[in-house]
């Protein structure tokens, strides 16, 4: 079994499209498990104190992981590691991976230990509205969950090495097993440990996240290559640290915004934070499957193009990936806005999750979905800067967006419109501003840029998505007229399926009418890469010379 797992993990992905397809396919499976996880949580606890405490407890582990791990890996380690390997400096690349791993463990271990010691004070600051048993549960869950960043740190280094080797399968499967661990906690640990079993489920999931990638990692030629004792004298490691500091601060700003938003949500009625998080989990499916998947898949290629000073190739990769993300994300965003109530009821509507919870959650879902395109493109454009080994500009933009976010929240708090729905609206507005600044600044930093190649195809996709959403809205009313009452899961699911089919068919038809290039590229990708048919059989209208996924 282990040998089979290693062989699967060692398969090399040759194209960006195939890498993105693998990540997206695994992402779909992971998100399906995520829906199951959220349904189990909502059915067992409802949008109330327990889930508020559970989601608030994620804030400190997520802050530490973002500051130490994501900053080092996404902005610094992978570009430098890829550059060393592209220059044939394999031994230096191995030494860098070893140093980064051990310093991450030491730094993160010390910070997590401090977090456990001072969890009481931290929870008081993060969630000032939590009192009594709710506050104590949040403190206990925080201390338990602080074990998880250590396993995820090791897993992140394994991911960086595997992605640099264009081996995306094991990396893509890791989030699936992370969700398996959390579901195990809900079903098997909560009956024995109570609500604290949710925290231990997160720890189990992070351990599985790491173990999933280890067999493939050891077979890439890295068995027993990590040195147990490291030194900070490695000049390449120092370079990584210099690059990661701005990125870590940038991630810190984002996390501070989330901390502030958590604090404001804790002042609202019970279940507000849970409703926001559950809605965010639904709309972030498109973000994970397409936005993050394409961004991760193209990052090694962007880094290589930047290292070789191929400006035109760099822009082409960025523009093509942008359009392909929008091609999938925009119609999903429109359909989630139209069928927001149906999505929430089908995914979460059972057990303790009542109709009042549903109304709050689907209102938040609609407001978050408005900025889904920006949420999906921010990882790509941030990685564009990282590939150029420039982490300062994303930091400044994140700081500006974070300050704006906090400023708007303070104004909102002092007004009569203070509600969890308005917190979602503020989040969407700030996210759109953040993306706009990233786009503008990356354009200024690039020696080659063609707005027409980026914007005109995007406008076609926007038009197709909006019109498809209108037709889907019409189909919703038509279905409601033919069915007496939508009072069962089956009827709501049928309405959602019917509307998604009408909206999806309309979107594809409009893309054909508007001659959206991504539709032809997708068809060629499915025909040649998935079905393994000869490319010469693809019709001339598909323009095979345009490039490959």
Q: 53-102 pLDDT, tens per residue? A: 999 999 889 888 877 777 556 557 777 777 787 777 777 777 777 788 88
- Which DSSP category does 269 fall into? S
Higher per-residue pLDDT: 194 or 291? 194
- Which DSSP category does 12 fall into? P
Q: What sections of 483-541 are H helices per DSSP?
A: 489-514, 517-525
118: its two tokens: 């001072």
Q: What is the pTM of this model?
A: 0.80
- Chain segment 462-500, per-residue pLDDT in tens: 999 999 999 999 988 887 777 666 667 788 888 889 889
Q: Does the pLDDT value for residue 461 go beyond 80?
A: yes
Collect all residues with Cβ–Cβ distance below 8 Å to 440 and sequence separation of at least 6: none
Do the beta carbons of residue 437 and residue 401 sit within 8 Å?
A: yes
- Looking at residue 531, what is its pLDDT? 46
Lowest mean pLDDT, pick from 127-136, 422-431, 448-457, 532-541: 532-541
- Chain segment 102-141, per-residue pLDDT in tens: 888 888 889 999 999 999 999 998 899 898 999 999 999 9
Lowest mean pLDDT, pick from 14-28, 157-171, 214-228, 530-544: 530-544
- Looking at residue 299, what is its pLDDT? 81
Q: Does the pLDDT value for residue 212 go beyond 50?
A: yes
- Looking at residue 92, what is its pLDDT? 78
Triad 304, 310, 313: Cα angle to 5°: 85
Triad 254, 389, 58: Cα angle to 5°: 25
Q: How confident is the model at residue 545 (pLDDT cuts 50, 70, 90)?
A: very low
- Chain segment 308-330, per-residue pLDDT in tens: 888 888 998 999 899 989 999 99
Do the beta carbons of residue 250 and residue 76 sit within 8 Å?
A: no
First vs last Cα of the chain: how many Å apart? 32
| 46 vs 419: CA distance, rounded Å | 19
Collect all residues with Cβ–Cβ distance below 8 Å to 299 and sequence separation of at least 6: 78, 163, 383, 386, 387
Higher per-residue pLDDT: 490 or 449? 449
- Looking at residue 286, what is its pLDDT? 81
- Looking at residue 115, what is its pLDDT? 92
Triad 46, 49, 54: Cα angle to 5°: 90
Average pLDDT over residues 439-457: 87
- Looking at residue 220, what is its pLDDT? 64
Q: What sections of 339-371 are H helices per DSSP?
A: 340-348, 355-369
Average pLDDT of the chain is: 82
Alpha-carbon distance values, 13 to 20, 158, 541 (Å): 10, 17, 27
Four-residue CA torsion sign, 254, 124, 146, 206: negative
């Amino acid at each position: 079994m282990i040998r089979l797992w290693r062989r699967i993990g060692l398969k090399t992905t040759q194209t960006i499209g195939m890498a993105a397809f693998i990540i997206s396919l695994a992402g779909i499976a992971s998100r399906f498990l995520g829906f199951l996880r959220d349904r189990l949580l909502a059915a067992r606890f409802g949008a109330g104190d327990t889930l508020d405490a559970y989601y608030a407890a994620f804030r400190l582990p997520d802050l530490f992981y973002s500051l130490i791990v994501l900053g080092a890996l996404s902005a610094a380690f992978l570009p430098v590691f890829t550059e060393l390997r592209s220059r044939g400096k394999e031994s230096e690349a191995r030494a860098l991976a070893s140093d980064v791993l051990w310093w991450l463990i030491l730094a993160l271990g010390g910070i997590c230990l401090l977090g456990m010691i001072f969890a009481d004070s931290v929870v008081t600051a993060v969630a000032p509205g939590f009192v009594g048993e709710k506050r104590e549960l949040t403190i206990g869950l925080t201390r338990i969950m602080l074990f998880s960043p250590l396993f995820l740190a090791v897993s992140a280094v394994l991911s960086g090495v595997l992605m640099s080797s264009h081996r995306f399968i094991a990396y893509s499967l890791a989030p699936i097993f992370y969700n398996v661990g959390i579901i195990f906690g809900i079903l098997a640990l909560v009956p024995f440990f109570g609500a604290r079993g949710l925290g231990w489920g997160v720890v189990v999931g992070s351990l599985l996240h790491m173990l999933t990638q280890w067999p493939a990692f050891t077979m890439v030629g890295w068995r027993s290559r990590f040195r147990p004792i490291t030194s900070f004298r490695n000049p390449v490691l120092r370079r990584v640290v210099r690059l990661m500091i701005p990125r870590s601060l940038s991630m810190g700003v984002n996390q501070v915004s989330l901390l502030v938003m958590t604090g404001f949500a804790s002042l609202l009625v019970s279940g507000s934070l849970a409703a926001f998080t559950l809605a965010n989990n639904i709309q972030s499916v498109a973000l994970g499957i397409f936005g993050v998947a394409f961004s991760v898949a193209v990052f090694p290629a962007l880094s290589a193009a930047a290292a070789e000073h191929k400006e035109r190739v760099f822009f082409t990769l960025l523009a093509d990936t942008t359009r392909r993300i929008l091609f999938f994300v925009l119609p999903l965003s429109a359909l989630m806005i139209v069928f927001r109530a149906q999505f929430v009821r089908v995914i979460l509507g059972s057990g303790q999750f009542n109709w009042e919870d549903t109304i709050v959650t689907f209102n938040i879902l609609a407001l978050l979905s408005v900025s889904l395109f920006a949420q999906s493109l921010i990882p790509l454009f941030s990685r564009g800067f990282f590939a150029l080994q420039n982490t300062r500009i994303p930091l400044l933009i994140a700081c500006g967006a974070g300050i704006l976010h906090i400023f708007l929240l303070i104004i909102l708090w002092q007004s009569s419109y203070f509600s969890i729905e308005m917190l979602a609206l503020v989040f969407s507005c700030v996210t759109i501003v953040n993306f706009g600044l990233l786009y503008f600044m990356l354009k200024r930093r690039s020696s080659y840029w063609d707005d027409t190649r980026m914007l005109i195809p995007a406008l076609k996709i926007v038009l197709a998505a909006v019109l498809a959403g209108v037709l889907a809205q019409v189909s919703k009313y038509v279905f409601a007229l033919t069915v007496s009452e939508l009072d069962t899961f089956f009827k709501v699911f049928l309405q959602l399926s019917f509307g998604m089919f009408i909206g999806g068919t309309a979107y594809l038809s409009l893309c054909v009418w508007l001659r959206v290039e991504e539709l032809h590229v997708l068809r060629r990708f499915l025909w040649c890469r998935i079905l393994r048919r000869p490319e010469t059989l693809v019709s001339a209208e598909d323009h095979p010379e345009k490039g490959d996924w």
